[in-house]
Amino acid sequence: MRGRSPDGVASEGRRLVAAALTAVLVLSGLASAANRLTARQEHHPRRRSFVLTLVPGAATVAPGQTTRLRVVVYQRGYRAPVRVRVTAGLPAHARATMSRSRLAVATSTLTRPGTYRITVAAVRPPRAGHTGRRHFSVTFRLTVKGSAARSAFVVAGDAPGRLAPGASAPLDVSLHNPNRFAILVRAVSAGVAAVSAPHADAAHPCAASDFAATPLAASYGIAVPARATVRLSELGVDPSRWPHVAMLDRPANQDGCKGATLRLSYTGTATKAPR
């Protein structure tokens, strides 16, 4: 075996030391670069997200029914209050109400069957130091199945003043026609559906039997245009022909009916107006 001179061994040792030093320097350089990268990342703002979810995402109801949804708002990096509301797609004769984390969509008997895509939006008000998304919306699919009351019309009205035993009050009722065609209202009847009497007791009762109602005295049809609401006073109908509600004058103490409140009900008939 060939031997190595001391100078050769010393020379090789220097090369090894130099290589080791180079490796240490390279590793040190990588560590410095990693530190610089970490420092840059630490200066970036934390990622923020803003998401709105509805549970369930679809529902099927009949006209007049209500569906309720759970509203989930996820905010990461925010603490700003969020306002949730329906922005589009709500069918006619339906309403939406928000209470805490619940959204109720109520249809009516006049809501037409079909599939509706209702847009629900969550909006964050602008605040100093807050960046990122402020508006997020989702679509909820509402399917209304069944028969809407297409040929119905709506009657509403209240007595203009107080009642006394033996006195009556005319009811200037309004007639609402939700149909696409004009109608002729042939008859309207009023009734006392319920009585709330805070001063009534066993000795001084007050009930619906203490009151009476008379119908609309219409021997002719009252025309109501398509998708319109009219009142009898606007149509020039004589008040003597309006429906009336009266308090009967009974041969007994009727103090139990003082301050009583009546809930009236109406029924009527109508036909499609000829063109």
- Of 2-11, 44-53, 233-242, the one with minimum mean pLDDT is 2-11
Task: Specify the pLDDT at position 32.
Answer: 39
Task: Specify the pLDDT at position 221.
Answer: 83
Higher local confidence (pLDDT), 213 or 75: 213
Strand partners, 75: 50
Q: Provide mean pLDDT across the span 80-88.
A: 86
User: Residue 94 has which token pair?
Assistant: 């339906």
Percent of the chain exceeding pLDDT 90 equals: 37
Percent of the chain exceeding pLDDT 70 equals: 77
List Cβ neighbours of 238 (8 Å cut-off, separation of 6 or more): none
Express each pLDDT in 136-192 by its tens digit.
889 999 999 986 555 578 898 887 778 899 999 999 999 999 888 899 898 999 999
The architecture that CATH gives domain 154-272 is Sandwich (2.60)
- Taking the C-alpha atoms of residue 131 and residue 114, their distance in angstroms, rounded to an integer, is 40
Helix, strand, coil shares, percent, the chain, to 5: 15, 40, 45
pLDDT beyond 50 at 16: no
Q: Which long-range contacts (CB under 8 A, 24 or more apart) does 231-239 make?
A: 231/172, 231/173, 231/174, 231/175, 232/172, 232/173, 232/175, 233/172, 239/170, 239/172
Task: Specify the pLDDT at position 116.
Answer: 96
Task: Specify the pLDDT at position 52.
Answer: 85
Task: Specify the pLDDT at position 47.
Answer: 55
Do 49-144 and 154-272 share a fold? yes
What's the chain's average pLDDT?
79
List Cβ neighbours of 89 (8 Å cut-off, separation of 6 or more): 116, 117, 118, 119, 139
Task: Specify the pLDDT at position 129.
Answer: 59
What is the CA 258 to chain-centroid distance, rounded? Answer: 38
CATH of domain 49-144: 2.60.40.10
Q: Where are the domains of the chain?
A: 1-44, 49-144, 154-272
Task: Specify the pLDDT at position 150.
Answer: 54
Express each pLDDT in 18-57 by its tens digit.
544 444 434 344 443 333 433 343 344 455 577 888 999 9
